[in-house]
Structure 1
Amino acid sequence: MKALKRLARRAELRERAGLNRELSDRDTDDELIDLASNDYLGLSRHPRVVAAAREALATWGLGAGGSRAVRGTTTEHSLLERDLADQLRTHSALVYSSGYLANLGLIGALAQGRTRILLDAHSHASLHDAARRSTGLSQTWKHNDLSDLRAKLDQHSGPTLVVCESVYSVCGDAAPLSGLHALVVRHPDALLIVDEAHALGVTGPSGAGEVVGANLAGSDRIIVTATLSKALGAAGGVVAGPEVLRRHLQDTSRPFIYDTALPPSVAAGAREGLRIARESDLLRAELATRAATAARELGVVTPAAGVLSIPAADAYAATHWATACRQRGVAVGCFRPPSTPDPRSRLRVTINSSVSKSKFRSALNVIKETRPCLTDPSSSPALTLVSARPSPRRP
């Protein structure tokens, strides 16, 4: 069959370019030092989180049983939404079954007809996908470049969504939120959408994120999205903002209306994770200290939160480097096009404050000792498969 032959040929080309991805089972007795997952505060296995999920599982059963609009909404969902709105300091919050769907659901419900979507070029894959699948017109602006965004905003007077991440998922740098907000409020029909996936629980007062940290929480020109699968150690996504927005999403957001609800046990675990994150200033301080230490020793810029990006020569070098780390007991992320915002491949190190200090020190030594020589990435065969178009990212 020709269609299958085409798929096989594309798979062959990806493998030749070092861009194929393999899935590896993680066993319960896995002893790798984890600098690859996004469990920044180590809450996914926290006794209180597990106990809350177990209690809800016994009460509600395994699945929600239906969509939120039918029978899938339980008190666990409503309590989680209340607590998330309190944490993010917004009027309301609406929980989706994943952060990816939250972004798709929000932008799809807001971007209609003449709406223009202006995305930071480094924005997460779910945000790019949402823009492409909406009926609005999407355009990227240069990463963290306020001048470029200002010029693009001034070209259009109609409804506009300005989209960014507060902490970027591959390179770990922060968005200039105050400057972005100042530009948005100059345009009466513009909104700023901020994805706090890598900030919620990690930055801001009590882990409330970058929007709260920048004293912008509660602005009627900002909408916050986030995933609950990183620092909170759970799963799910959230859109937080004015109450009228929640009402609009309940009535029009297809990923909310037609998707089976988040399991109640996961909602309960996420809520307990949120409680613990609020109380975890010491864990956040330790995470920040480790991030600064790792950045200094690995020769990269200190990140805004817990993500460090270390360039490799090409996709093969990144893959071999990550494999060498794994063989010596350290799990790190291996990011290659199109999961990176440019043609360069990288190791991504995510700081986990629950890893012991001695193991963290050992892991840094392994990363440094296995580091390959950095050469000109322009010679990489992976570039032949990479579009010059800004790439949607994050696995």
Structure 2
Amino acid sequence: MSSHLDQTLAPALAERRAAHLYRTRKLLQSPQTPQVMVDGKNYLAFCSNDYLGLANHPEVIAALQQSATTLGVGSGASHLVAGHSSEHHALEEELAAFTGRERALLFSTGYMANMGAITALVGQGDGVFEDRLNHASLLDAGLLSGARFQRFLHNDLDNLQSRLDKTEAARKLIVVDGVFSMDGDCAPLPELAALAQKNNAWLMVDDAHGFGCLGKTGAGCAEHFGLNQEQLPILMGTLGKAAGSFGAFIAGSETLIETLIQFARPYIYTTAMPPAVAAATRASLRLIQTEQWRREHLNRLIAHFRAGAQALNLQLMDSFSPIQPVVIGDEARALLISQKLAERGILIIAIRPPTVPVGSSRLRITFSAQHTIEQVDQLLLALADIMGEVEHD
């Protein structure tokens, strides 16, 4: 006999299954490379955020192993107790230098970095203004901050300005993704920076999907758009995507970082990441800066795919990033195409509501510097065949 808890929760699960929105976990049994083993089967994968192919790089692995031998595995405590190691400290200094900021502060995850920064910077009597397509962590942080939370239309500067005109908030925080995770497009950061300064507001950018990929040296959206610390005072980046490691950081002024150390609860009350992970990230950071070919090859792959997809009349988004969504629309159809690709040995996940708006379900295709042009052609051929099959079903 099921418990009252199970009886109460089960209908919502059944409803999600019936709406083709049920999520299941796949079991990865290989390193994160274009060729993966999932649930005992081999696939060519186009669904990883390992954009530069560093998650399985021998130098990154060696750095982690060496540091674990020297410093152990667990950090043992929070940064403010006894967990802030020399590897953490060196990584923060290198991230600050790389992003052109005075200081950087490590967090264990991107979700925690966003939650920590936003809730430390604004509260009751303040205003937080977020793009409607921001990542869930940004939206959750805005809601939980206690500030008046407003969402403006995607990349719509006029809509944002009209909201700023009406606010009486003591502090005004504008928050956007640098590269939007489900659409792959960029925020208009130079215009947002100018708008923020004009309105005496602070600009915060989540550069999870730009860091490592954009900019001449890979320093991300700020470098790509040429924005300094004054123009973009609160820069967040994650280390589990293009950097191939784990964790996140906030970069900015000395005063900003000291404020987060004192007031960001997710930072204060969380065990520090393993020092070996910080050492691995330091190795990947060096590779990001010295192996320019990774970004150059990635850009060739993206251009090749977009040209091929447009020839097939696939509905693409306005994206020059490694995120190249193909919009399908209907949830069940997106799932069907994903399943047919899997039958051909190609792994791409169907993204459905509530992650994306109803009616915009899509195949979220992502590229890595480890992919080849031939593998992209294999994907395009499979899409051509499957789209033809689905149209005639």
- Give, in angstroms, the shift of residue 304 of structure 1: 2.8
- Give, in angstroms, the shift of residue 363 of structure 1: 2.2
Report 1:42-191 matches (<5 A): 42-157=53-168, 158-188=170-200, 190-191=201-202
- Give, in angstroms, the shift of residue 334 of structure 1: 1.7
Is 1:317 aligned to 2:333, yes or no?
yes
Q: Is the 8 A contact 1:118 1:163 kept in 2?
A: yes
- Match of residue 387 from structure 1: none
- Give, in angstroms, the shift of residue 220 of structure 1: 5.8
Report 1:193-212 matches (<5 A): 193-212=204-223
Q: Is the 8 A contact 2:193 2:231 kept in 1?
A: no
Most deviating of 349-358 and 173-182: 349-358
Is 1:327 aligned to 2:339, yes or no?
no
Residue identity matched to 1:149: L
Report 1:212-361 matches (<5 A): 212-219=223-230, 221-299=232-310, 300-301=316-317, 303-361=319-377
Q: Distance in 2 between matches of 1:302 and 1:294?
A: 13
- Give, in angstroms, the shift of residue 40 of structure 1: 0.5
- Match of residue 8 from structure 1: 10
Most deviating of 339-348 and 4-13: 339-348
Q: Is the 8 A contact 1:112 1:136 kept in 2?
A: yes
Higher relative contact order, chain-length normalized (CA < 8 Å, sep 6+): 1
- Match of residue 49 from structure 2: 38
1:338 is paired with a residue of what secondary structure?
coil
Q: Is the 8 A contact 1:69 1:257 kept in 2?
A: yes
Q: Distance in 1 between matches of 2:88 and 2:255?
A: 19
Q: Is the 8 A contact 2:194 2:231 kept in 1?
A: no
- Give, in angstroms, the shift of residue 282 of structure 1: 1.5
Most deviating of 98-107 and 321-330: 321-330
Distance 1:207 1:337, change over 3 A: same
Q: Distance in 1 between matches of 2:358 and 2:94?
A: 37
The correspondence for 2:203, drawn from 188, 192, 198, is 192
Q: Is the 8 A contact 2:172 2:202 kept in 1?
A: yes
1:308 is paired with a residue of what secondary structure?
strand
Q: Is the 8 A contact 1:313 1:373 kept in 2?
A: no
Number of matched residues?
374
Q: TM-score, normalised by structure 2?
A: 0.92
2:217 is paired with a residue of what secondary structure?
helix
Deviation per residue, 1:80-121 (Å, 9 max, x gap): 111111111111100000111100110011111111110000
Q: Distance in 2 between matches of 1:172 and 1:368?
A: 22
- Give, in angstroms, the shift of residue 266 of structure 1: 0.9
Distance 1:109 1:343, change over 3 A: farther
- Give, in angstroms, the shift of residue 296 of structure 1: 2.4
Residue identity matched to 1:282: W
Q: Is the 8 A contact 1:122 1:341 kept in 2?
A: no
- Match of residue 391 from structure 1: none
Q: Distance in 1 between matches of 2:107 and 2:356?
A: 26
Q: Is the 8 A contact 2:44 2:346 kept in 1?
A: yes
Q: Distance in 2 between matches of 1:352 and 1:207?
A: 14
Residue identity matched to 1:292: A
Residue identity matched to 2:112: L
Q: Is the 8 A contact 2:128 2:173 kept in 1?
A: yes
1:154 is paired with a residue of what secondary structure?
helix
- Match of residue 384 from structure 1: none
Q: Distance in 2 between matches of 1:313 and 1:215?
A: 36
- Give, in angstroms, the shift of residue 146 of structure 1: 0.6
Q: Distance in 2 between matches of 1:142 and 1:342?
A: 16
Most deviating of 300-309 and 88-97: 300-309
| Percentage identity across paired residues of the two chains | 33
Most deviating of 12-21 and 111-120: 111-120
Distance 1:210 1:105, change over 3 A: same
- Give, in angstroms, the shift of residue 305 of structure 1: 1.2
Q: Distance in 2 between matches of 1:244 and 1:374?
A: 57
Alpha-carbon RMSD: 1.6
Q: TM-score, normalised by structure 1?
A: 0.91
Gaps of 5+ in 1: 376-395
Most deviating of 216-225 and 253-262: 216-225
Q: Distance in 1 between matches of 2:358 and 2:252?
A: 32
Q: Distance in 1 between matches of 2:107 and 2:121?
A: 16
Q: Is the 8 A contact 1:33 1:360 kept in 2?
A: no
2:106 is paired with a residue of what secondary structure?
strand
Q: Distance in 1 between matches of 2:391 and 2:145?
A: 40
Deviation per residue, 1:261-292 (Å, 9 max, x gap): 11111111111111101123221111112112
- Give, in angstroms, the shift of residue 221 of structure 1: 5.0
Q: Distance in 2 between matches of 1:213 and 1:221?
A: 12
